[in-house]
Structure 1
Amino acid sequence: MPSFEVGESIPPDTAHAVSVSLPTWSSNIGYEEGQEWVVSRMTTGYPRFFIHLSIAAFADELVAKFGTKNTRAMLFPTRQIAARCSDFLKSRAPAELVGSISAVHLVLDIEKPAAKALEPLRPTISALLFAPEVFPFAKQYWQHSGDGVSSRRAEFCHGLFRDGLLCVDDGPKSPLQKPYRGPRRYHRPSSIDAGTVTLVNNGGSGGESQETSRFLEERFGRNLELSFLDPARSAIRRRIAGALRSDNELSKSPQPEMESNTRGVVNLREEDIYLFPCGMNAIFNSHRALLGARGSMKTVNVGFPYVDTLKILEKFGPGCVFYGHASESDLDALEARLEDGERFLALFCEFPGNPLLTCPNLVRIRQLADKYDFAVVVDETVGTFANINVLQFSDIVVSSLTKIFSGDCNVMGGSAIFNPNRRYYAALTAFAQKEFEDTYWPEDVIFMERNSRDFASRIDRINANAEAICDVLKPHPAIKQLFYPRYNESRPNYEICRLPGGGYGGLLSITFNHRDQAVAFYDAIETAKGPSLGTNFTLTSPYVLLAHFQELEWAKGFGADPDLIRISVGLEETDQLVGVFKSALKAAEETGHAVAK
C-alpha cells in the first residue's frame, strides 16, 4: 500500500487531483484548525473546499491588473454565474463592504487570428473582486454551489490571458455566452445541451481545419482528441442512463436514439441527462430549476445529508425542514405536517446516505409526493446506478460523477436526470432550456469519459471487496457499530431499489468502543487517507471530524459520531485489503487493552 505525506496530492504527482493526504488523526484536526504545520504543506485539496493553486495564481494576476492592493478575487466560468455570486454576497456580507464588490469579464479577443480556433471552447472567465473581509462569504458560495471554475479551465484561460488572447468584455452578454444547442441530433424542444460542439472537422481536407486541429491539440495536450468531445459527452450520458456499459472506441457518427436502459424508464432520452462541473452543482441547479418551475417554497431534507446539500436548501430559497434520521417516524412527522396543510417544493434525500448509509423509504416518499404535490430528488452517488435504480421513484436523480463513475480521482463532474414521466418534467425542462448554462469544461469532459469506460466492471470488484472488509470488521470486539446497507435496519428499503445482480456499494463506516481505538486504527491503517470517496484505491477518512468540525454535537444528535471513520473501498487485491484491515484492527485492539487497564 502507498504511503503519503501530509498535504501530498492523492493520487500523487497529479496536477488536478481531487483528494489530499491527511495521514494521521492529528493532521485532520490540524487542517480544520488551520494549523501551520498542515496548511502550509497542502499542495491541493478537495476542489470545493480548497481553491486549487492554479486558480489562485490566475486570481492573483487578475487582482494585480484590475484590483488594488487590498483586494481579493474569485473566479467563475460565466458572467451569469458571477452575478449570482454577487447577489449572494450582497445579501450576506456586511453592508459597508458591498461597495467593494466589482466584476471583470474576460472573453476571447476574436480580432486576433490565434483566437479564432478557440471560439468553440468559449473559454470565458468572470472574476469577482472584493475586500478581503468579503472572501469568507464568497467561499461559502463557491463551496455550496459548485459554481466556481475548474482548475483545468483556470489553467487554460490563464495561458490565454498571458498570451493576450483574452480581453475585457463590458457588454451585457458576450456572443460566446449565447446558448448553443450543439449537434443537430440534440435539436429537440426539451434539449438544453448548450455548448456541445464539434471542435475539429478532421474529415475535411482544408488547411484551416488541420491548422485548427494542431493548435487545439497542442493547447490541450496531444493525447486529448478534441474532435471526440461530442461523442464523449454522449457516451457519458448514455452510461449514466445505463444504455452504454462500456465503449473503448468512440465513434464520431451521430448515435441512434437510445432503445433501452437500466433505469426502467422506456422513454428516457439522452437529452434528459444534464452534465455539470461537479456533483454539488447538479444539486444546486436542480434546486434552482425546481424553484423556477414551481415557485418559492420550502424544501424537505430527509436523512443525514452530505454537508453542502443541506446548506443549499437552507441558504438559497425560503428555507428547509430537516428530518435527519430518515426513519419511519420522520416520515410520520412529515405526513402530519402535510395533512395539516403545509406544502413543500421538493424532498431531497440520499440513497444510501453519507456517511451512515441509511436508506429512506422511497416507496412511501413517492406516495406522499403524489398525494401532496411535491418533487422527489434523490442523490444516488453512494449507491451508484450500477447497483440500484432510484429513478423509478424520483422526479430528479443527481449524482457526483467525481466519485466512483470516474474512479481516478483526477476530474470533477456531476449529473442530473429529469424523469420524463413525472408531473414537473415539462416545467423543469422549460426552465433548463432558458436558464442552464453548460459550464462543464471540455478537458474535464474528455477525462471523465475515459475514466468511466470501465465503470461497470469496477463496481463488481468494489462491491466484493467491501463485503470482504465487512466480514472482517463486523464481528470484531473493538467495533461498536458497522454502517453498511446490507447490515443497516433500513436494508429492506435498499432491497426494493437493488438491481438484479447489484451489490451494496463500496462505502462503509465504523465507530469504535473508545475514541483512542478510532485514533489508533486510523493512524495505523495503510491506505490512502483523505477526503472524497469512490476512488479506485481504498480511501479512509474521519469523515464527521472533517465535514462537521464546527458542529460535532449537532451531527452526533443524528447518529453521526465525531469519531466515525468512513472507508471508501477500492480495487486492490482482496487478500491484501483484508490483511491491511486486520493489521489496523490489531492496533485498535491493543489500544483498547491499554484503555481497559
Structure 2
Amino acid sequence: MSAFPPLPLGQPIPDCLHGVSCSLPTMRDVIGYEEKNPAVTAHLDSGYPRFVVHRFNRQLATLIATELSLSDHDIWLTCSARVATALVGELSDAHTSLIHHDGVHGVAHRRDPDLFNHAKRYLQNIGGFLSSREAEDRLAARGLIAVAPETLAPTATAATTVREVLTQAHAGARHEDILLAPSGMNAFHGAWRSLAALQAERGRTVWIQLGWLYLDTIAQLRRFTASPADYVNITDVNDLTALDEALAAAGNRLAGLVTEVPTNPLVQTADIAAVARKVHAAGGRVLLDPTLVSPFNIRLLEHSDVVVNSLTKYAANEGDVIAGSVIINPAGSDAAALRHRIAAALDPVYPRDLARLAAQVPAYESTVLQTNRTAIDVVEFLRQHPAVREVYWSLQPATAENYLKIARSPAHIGSMISFTLRRPLAEVYDRLPLAKGPSFGMQTSLICPFIYLAHYDLVTTPEGRAQLAAAGIDYELLRLSVGTEPVSEIIAALESALSAPTPA
C-alpha cells in the first residue's frame, strides 16, 4: 500500500476547512481548473486562497447580497475597508459601490465578465480577500454553521509569539522591525508600494526586477510602476553587466530592485551582496524575498532595506493559514520612515488566523531543518534518474556559489526542487502518488506543474512558450516541495511514476 493515498479532485491539502492547497490529481484536472471547466471547478470548494474564493466567503457574500438587495450584483468581500476602497477606484465603473455591512467590507458591481475578472485579479495580486476564518466566524454568528475546532494559541500573545520566532529567523531584526500581514502578497504590496512612494518623492521611479519571479510579484511591478518605461526586467540573475547597464540608464531616477532569493521556480540565486552594493551605491533601495527556502536557511537582512516573506510557507507548516511578514533592516537608510509607512499600509491579520499561525510557528525552524535533510537525498535521486532531464535546486552549479555566500551552512539547502522530464509530463504527473496541488512549505510533500498553474496564458500560445524558453523555463517543469515524510517514501513515490512503463 502506498504511503501516499490518492487524493480525489478538489480535496483540500491538508484535509481541513482552511487547507491552503487542493488536489489536482491529473493534468486534465489542471487544465480544466485553468480553463474554468465546470466538470472540474464543481469539485473545488476551496483552494489556494488568493486564487479560489473559499466556500465560506461565497456563502457570506450571497447572504450579504440578499440582505442588501444586491442579488443581481457580484460581491467581493475584502480584508479591510481600505482594500474595498482601492478596488472601487481600480474598477472605475459607475455601477460599483462600497459595502460596509455588519462589520464586513467589500464591493458590489454590476454583473459583467470583464469587471469580474478585473476585480478577482486585482484582489489576487494584492492579497486582498476576506479571511476564510473571518467568513466562518461571521456565518457562525448568524447561527448558520458551527465553527470547526482547531488548535489555537492564546489570542493575546499570538503576535508576540510569531514575532519572537521571526527575530530568530531574521538575524538583526527586533520586534518593532517585524510587521505582519494577512498574506505574503499583501505584505509585498504594502512594503513595496510604501518604498516606491518614498523613492518617488525623491524623483526616483525606476524599478528593476531581477530574475523570473512569482506571478503576482511580477504583476504588481508591472501594474504599479509609474510608467511602462519605469519597469526593467533582467531575466538572468547572474548578469551583473546587464544590471550595471540598467543602473546607468536609470541614473538618478533609480528607485530600487526586487528579487526572490532564490527565484521561483528555477531556484536561482543572484550574488546578493554584489547586487545590493551596486543598487545602494546608485541611490536605490533593495527588497528581497526568501520565501522559497525560508529565512531559516539564508541571511538576507544585512543586504536589504526590506525583506518580505510569505508565512503561509514553512511558518504555517501544517498548511492551513495564509499570512505574511515585512522585516525592516534597522540599519537601513530609511528604516524609521519605512517602519511608519509600511505599518500604515498593511492590512490587519484576522485574529483567529494569527492565533492559528502562532500555534504552528514554534515548529518553523525544525520543519525547515528536517526538510533540508530529506531534500538532499531527493535531489541525488532525481539527478541520477534517466527520466529526469534537469534538476533545479539551491546548489545547482550556475548559482551554487552565490547561494552558499548567504546560506547559514552548506546543509541549509532548502526543500524546493524543480525538475524537467525526458518523458511526457502527463505520463509522470498523473501516476504520481504524492499530493498534487499549488503552494509549498508544509509538512506534506506537494508537487505541481507550476508553469501551468502560474502562467497558463503563456503555456497555451507559441509566443508565450517562446517567452518562457527565452527565460530558460521549460513549461512542463514540475515543482516539488519536500515534506517531512520519510525520505524513502518520497523517493519511492517519485520512482513509481518516473519508471512506470510507457502506456501502449
TM-score under structure 2 length normalisation: 0.92
d(CA) in 2 for partners of 1:513, 1:344: 43
Change beyond 3 A, Cα 1:555–1:138: same
Equivalent residues, number? 486
Which residue number corresponds to residue 127 of structure 2?
Answer: 146
**Aligned positions of 1:354-503 closer than 5 A:** 354-433=264-343, 435-500=344-409, 502-503=411-412
Which residue number corresponds to residue 323 of structure 1?
Answer: 234
Which residue number corresponds to residue 135 of structure 1?
Answer: 116
| Offset, 1:427 | 2.0
Which residue number corresponds to residue 509 of structure 1?
Answer: 418
Say if 2:50 is the partner of 1:55. no
Indicate conservation of the 8 Å contact 1:220/1:443, yes or no. no
Say if 2:6 is the partner of 1:3. yes
SS at match of 1:559: coil
Say if 2:68 is the partner of 1:66. yes
d(CA) in 1 for partners of 2:182, 2:353: 8
Q: Which amino acid aligns with 2:136?
A: E
Indicate conservation of the 8 Å contact 2:419/2:479, yes or no. yes
Q: Which of 229, 237, 243 is residue 163 of structure 2 equivalent to?
A: 237
For CA contacts below 8 A with separation 6 or more, give which structure has more relative contact order: 2
Q: Which amino acid aligns with 1:158?
A: L
Q: Which of 534, 548, 567 is residue 441 of structure 2 equivalent to?
A: 534
Say if 2:469 is the partner of 1:564. no
**Aligned positions of 1:22-101 closer than 5 A:** 22-90=24-92, 98-101=93-96
Indicate conservation of the 8 Å contact 2:80/2:347, yes or no. no
d(CA) in 2 for partners of 1:286, 1:436: 8
Cα deviation, 1:257-308, whole Å, max 9, x if unaligned, reads xxxxx6442xx32011011111111111111211232227132111111100
Indicate conservation of the 8 Å contact 2:180/2:349, yes or no. yes
SS at match of 1:563: coil
Say if 2:192 is the partner of 1:287. yes
Q: Which of 61, 83, 97 is residue 102 of structure 1 equivalent to?
A: 97
Q: Which amino acid aligns with 1:465?
A: T
d(CA) in 1 for partners of 2:149, 2:248: 61
Q: Which amino acid aligns with 1:5?
A: P
Which residue number corresponds to residue 137 of structure 2?
Answer: 156
Q: Which amino acid aligns with 2:345?
A: F
**Aligned positions of 1:172-211 closer than 5 A:** none
Indicate conservation of the 8 Å contact 1:7/1:43, yes or no. yes
Gaps of 5+ in 2: 460-464
Change beyond 3 A, Cα 1:22–1:222: closer
Q: Which amino acid aligns with 1:101?
A: T
d(CA) in 2 for partners of 1:60, 1:293: 40
Q: Which amino acid aligns with 1:230?
A: A
d(CA) in 2 for partners of 1:577, 1:335: 43
d(CA) in 2 for partners of 1:56, 1:10: 20
Q: Which amino acid aligns with 1:102?
A: S
Cα deviation, 1:377-422, whole Å, max 9, x if unaligned, reads 1111112111111111111111111111111111111001010111
Which structure's CA Rg is the greater one?
A: 1
SS at match of 2:257: strand
Which residue number corresponds to residue 277 of structure 1?
Answer: 182
d(CA) in 2 for partners of 1:137, 1:302: 27
Change beyond 3 A, Cα 1:340–1:22: closer
d(CA) in 2 for partners of 1:36, 1:135: 17
d(CA) in 1 for partners of 2:181, 2:387: 42
Indicate conservation of the 8 Å contact 2:152/2:356, yes or no. no
d(CA) in 2 for partners of 1:19, 1:350: 22
| Offset, 1:463 | 0.8
Q: Which of 297, 300, 309 is residue 208 of structure 2 equivalent to?
A: 300
Q: Which amino acid aligns with 2:236?
A: H
| Offset, 1:131 | 1.1
d(CA) in 1 for partners of 2:208, 2:359: 36
Indicate conservation of the 8 Å contact 1:528/1:540, yes or no. yes
d(CA) in 1 for partners of 2:431, 2:328: 44
Indicate conservation of the 8 Å contact 1:548/1:555, yes or no. no
Indicate conservation of the 8 Å contact 1:71/1:129, yes or no. yes
Which residue number corresponds to residue 255 of structure 2?
Answer: 345
Cα deviation, 1:407-449, whole Å, max 9, x if unaligned, reads 111111100101011112122123235x335510010001111
d(CA) in 2 for partners of 1:556, 1:238: 43
d(CA) in 1 for partners of 2:340, 2:493: 52
| Offset, 1:486 | 1.5
d(CA) in 1 for partners of 2:400, 2:150: 45
Indicate conservation of the 8 Å contact 1:229/1:442, yes or no. yes
SS at match of 1:22: coil
d(CA) in 1 for partners of 2:104, 2:70: 19
**Aligned positions of 1:219-258 closer than 5 A:** 228-242=154-168
Indicate conservation of the 8 Å contact 1:472/1:581, yes or no. no
d(CA) in 1 for partners of 2:225, 2:437: 32
d(CA) in 1 for partners of 2:131, 2:297: 29
d(CA) in 1 for partners of 2:397, 2:135: 43
| Offset, 1:219 | 8.7
Cα deviation, 1:244-267, whole Å, max 9, x if unaligned, reads xxxxxxxxxxxxxxxxxx6442xx
| Offset, 1:106 | 2.9
Q: Which amino acid aligns with 1:148?
A: F
d(CA) in 2 for partners of 1:151, 1:8: 16
| Offset, 1:501 | 6.3
d(CA) in 1 for partners of 2:382, 2:367: 22
Change beyond 3 A, Cα 1:298–1:89: farther
Q: Which amino acid aligns with 1:126?
A: H
d(CA) in 2 for partners of 1:55, 1:222: 19
Q: Which of 222, 229, 250 is residue 314 of structure 1 equivalent to?
A: 222
| Offset, 1:337 | 2.9
d(CA) in 2 for partners of 1:573, 1:264: 30
